[in-house]
Amino acid sequence: MKQTDVLIVGAGPAGLAMAAHLRKRNIDFHIIEKSDRVGNAWHKHYDRLHLHTVKQLSHLPFKPFPEHYPLYVSKQLLTDYFYEYATTFGIQPQLNTAAKKMTKNSNGWTVETENGETIETKQLIIASGVNRHPVHPYFQDEEDFQGEIIHSRFYKNALAYKGKKVLVIGMGNTGAEIALDLCENGAESFISVRSPINIVPRDIMGRPTQLTAKKLQKLPNWLSDWIAVQLRKFTVGDISRYGIQTPKMPPMKQLRVTGKTPVIDIGTLEQIKKGNIKVVPAIDRFTTSGVLFKNGDEYPFDAIILATGYRSGIQDFFDHTEDLLDDYDIPKQVIGKDNFENVYFLGYDNYTPGGILGVINRDSAIIAEHIAKVNSVTV
């Protein structure tokens, strides 16, 4: 049985940021990671991925991105940065070690791993990510479909789909970008849009929308929401004739209330307007050769890509998480209370403009300060 003052579960960006803070404060910790490398989830993303947030607001604590990095950092450069970050702060996770069960004890928490190991810790930091489990909703008769069905987690690039008819289900940021990637690389690209969507351009007249949103945050919500709606009307306009409805809720309010990020457009909308990406409605059922949609249209497809999101899977670790998680499977607080005393949740706040990496930078400092106080550590 291992014993440690602080156990960090996950060596993605949240786990690395937390480890760096604890290292700076000379607080003993141990970190486990279910895969064989740091930042594993980011390695698995599709090839063309770049951050939609600007580099100066997306780095981890104590280590800005290198000067030569572009404004919007690529997946490859980001994963290189995570490796360098771990090296810089001497972070050496115990790899290939997946947490299985977490139980409260008289001194803190006991963590059982899938390989049969037990770790006792005074404080526990959950940094296993919001994208731990892909969501694969069941569609009627999908088992009859003769083509390929994959979740977006397993999509890498459009090479295998050139000349094929491909349906992307779901128009979040991932679905919108995969549909664009398919369109630009020789596939016939379709995207199924089930409900109204807030879309905002990544840049407006050369200025990152994120920086504008940061300034709008300083205003009263009613005023910032009104300005955001006017900007959306100016940059996006009425897109209902293309099969996409705009919700009544403004983009920033949607983020505050539901944690759902608006679609940050990097070119998908232009291709939709040109007719190069066809928008189709919600699915009624699958057929052997394709899909029948709710409006009665039927199309054949060679492949289906499910951009249907993820769940955090935190309820897999603990018993009785009813009061811990909100309706979107996200912890309600960063610092656990009551039955979750001495447990911390990092990298789960979807309700703040600016992207998850900015949230990790902010909240890792809050957690480190709290742990230092609990342990009477001074810096």
User: What dihedral do alpha carbons 116, 42, 130, 2 form, nearest 10°?
Assistant: 30
Q: Supply the mean pLDDT for the chain.
A: 93
Domain boundaries, the chain: 2-132+312-374, 136-306
Report pTM.
Answer: 0.92
Tell me what percent of the residues of the chain surpass a pLDDT of 90. Answer: 80
Radius of gyration (Cα) for the chain, nearest Å? 22
Amino acid identity of residue 1, one-letter, is: M
Strand (E) or helix (H) holding 156: none
Angle between helices 221-235 and 251-258 (to 10 degrees): 130
Partnered with residue 164 across adjacent β-strands are none
- Neighbour tally for 352: CB within 10 Å: 15
pLDDT at 212: 85
Q: In this predicted structure, what is the pLDDT of residue 355?
A: 82
Tens digit of pLDDT for each residue in 34-65? 999 999 999 999 999 999 999 999 999 999 99
- Exposed e or buried b for every residue in 75-84, given b needs 16+ CB within 10 A? bebbbebbee
Mean pLDDT, to the nearest integer, of 177-200? 96
Listed as own residue / partner, the contacts of 74-77 with beta carbons closer than 8 Å and 24 or more positions apart are: 74/49, 74/50, 75/42, 75/43, 75/45, 75/46, 75/47, 75/48, 75/49, 75/50
Q: Which tokens is 74 given?
A: 């690529």
For residue 248, the tally of other CB atoms under 10 A from its CB is 9
Q: Tell me: the pLDDT tens digits for 262-292?
A: 999 999 999 999 999 999 999 999 999 999 9
In this structure, the strands spanning 118-126 and 343-345 are parallel
pLDDT at 351 over 70: no
**Fold match, 2-132+312-374 / 136-306:** yes
Q: What is the CATH number of domain 2-132+312-374?
A: 3.50.50.60
Q: Where are the beta strands (DSSP E) in 60-184?
A: 99-105, 108-113, 118-126, 133-134, 148-151, 165-169
238: which 2 tokens?
Answer: 């009425």
Q: What is the pLDDT of residue 36?
A: 96
Question: At the topology level of CATH, where does 136-306 sit?
Answer: FAD/NAD(P)-binding domain (3.50.50)
pLDDT of 30 over the 70 cut: yes
Whether 350 has a pLDDT exceeding 70, the answer reads no
- Separation CA 289–CA 302 (nearest Å): 8
Among 36-45, 52-61, 197-206, 210-219, name the one with the lowest average pLDDT.
210-219
- 123-127 mean pLDDT: 97
Q: What is the pLDDT of residues 241-266, one digit of tens each?
A: 999 999 988 888 888 887 778 999 99
A 10 A CB-CB count for 362 gives 15
